[in-house]
Structures are given as structure tokens and as C-alpha cells.
Amino acid sequence: MKKGIPLLGERMPGIEVQTTHGKKRIPEDYAGKWIVLFSHPADFTPVCTTEFVAFAKRNEEFKKLNAELIGLSIDQVFSHIKWVEWIKENIGVEIPFPIIADDMGKVATTFGMVHPGKGTNTVRAVFIIDPQGIIRLMIYYPPEVGRQIDEILRALKALQISDQNKVALPENWPNNELIQDKVIIPPPKDIVEAEKRKKEFEGYDWWFTYKSL
């Protein structure tokens, strides 16, 4: 199996793993769904705890987008279970999604989640995988910086909007400073199409046109 950071557009390698919800085959068990696979450095650490609480509170929002959350770290399953219990008992938040127990580091190594200079802990990686099992987005954070979960939700929504409408999404969509919630028309393929663009759509020029959905 190939090791190291995968490329966007590659098919996710199939993995069979032990999780807090039992054994899973990924992506096979999630056929037809989007997957948000994310790693964290270790259980019982403050930054990771804040992230898991945020993921849990937005779990239903991910489900509404036909997406399933899956966590991962190089910890044994009993550690995951105890940490999930601790979060529920001390913070009052139930973790509803499975956490992969990658105690041998096989999955983390395959996906390039282990930084050579950071020991054996996984980095804060996020992979968004589409219903066809294709890796569509990757975000990597260092252990000392927590993720912004709403940005992961935004990116997932943007990918789905792009797929459904064959458009591109601007910076900070749907709150872009220039075009607000409008979407960008793909570049024209020839001169004739370029000349039609400004007549058919709003825009700054033929190469920068946009529309409302």
C-alpha cells in the first residue's frame, strides 16, 4: 500500500479498522455518503478535546449534508472509550461518531498523518472523501493549532455546490467581500464563448463572471 500524503483526486485506499463503534471497512461501509476523516494527536489532550466537542455539536449538520464523521489517533480503543466517557461525564457532550484505534499507526502512515519531527503523534489532518471514494480536500494543522470546524462544514458545502452546479466558489463563500454568495462561472474555452460571457452573466471581465444560484 502506498504511504505518505495522498493526492487530491486519488481514490481512498480501502482500510479495515477497529473503532469505538466496532470494526469498519472504509470507504465500503459508507458507500453513497461523504466522509470527513480527521486525525488528532492524542486522547486526553486539551486542544483535541475542544475539537471533538465542536465536531460532536455539529454532527447533525454534517449528516444533513450526507456526510459521516470519523475520528482517528494512534491510541488503543480502550483509551478512546474512556476519553469519550470523560467528555460526556465532565463536559456533557456525547461523541456520536466512531473513532479509529490506529494503535499500530498503519492508517496514519498510509495517509501521511505522522510528521517526522513530531514523534508518533498524528497531526491534525482532515480528509473529505466523496461518495465515490475520491479524496476531494485535505487540510493539515500542526498539533499546537486547533481546527475551525465551521470551515470544514463550509468546505464540504462548497464541494457539493460545485459538483451540483459545475461552478467555482469564491473566498469565504457564501460571504465573499466582492460577490457575496454568488458563484463563479468556469473559464471560457474559446474566443466566442469569452465574448458571450459579459452579456450573459454579471462580472468584472470575461474571465471573471458570476451568478446567483
pLDDT at 110 over 60: yes
The answer to pTM > 0.85 is: yes
Please name each of the domains of the chain with its CATH number: 15-147 (3.40.30.10), 166-213 (3.30.1020.10)
Percentage of residues of the chain with pLDDT beyond 90: 79
pLDDT at 4 over 80: no
The whole-number average pLDDT for the span 188-203 is: 92
Q: Residue 123's pLDDT band (boundaries 50, 70, 90)?
A: confident
pLDDT digits (tens, 9 = 90+) for 72-104: 998 999 999 999 999 999 999 999 999 999 988
Mark whether 48 is an active-site residue.
yes
DSSP characters for the chain? ---SPPPTTSBPPPEEEEETTEEEEETGGGTTSEEEEEE-S-SS-HHHHHHHHHHHHTHHHHHHTTEEEEEEESS-HHHHHHHHHHHHHHH-----S-EEE-TT-HHHHHTT-B-GGGTT-B-EEEEEE-TTSBEEEEEEE-TTS---HHHHHHHHHHHHHHHHHT-B--TTTTSBTTTBT-EEPPPPSSHHHHHHHHHHSEEEETTEEEE--
What does pLDDT average to over the chain?
93
The single residue of 48, 67, 126, 169 carrying the catalytic annotation is: 48
Q: What is the reported pLDDT for 119? A: 59
pLDDT at 178 over 80: yes
Q: What is the reported pLDDT for 157? A: 98
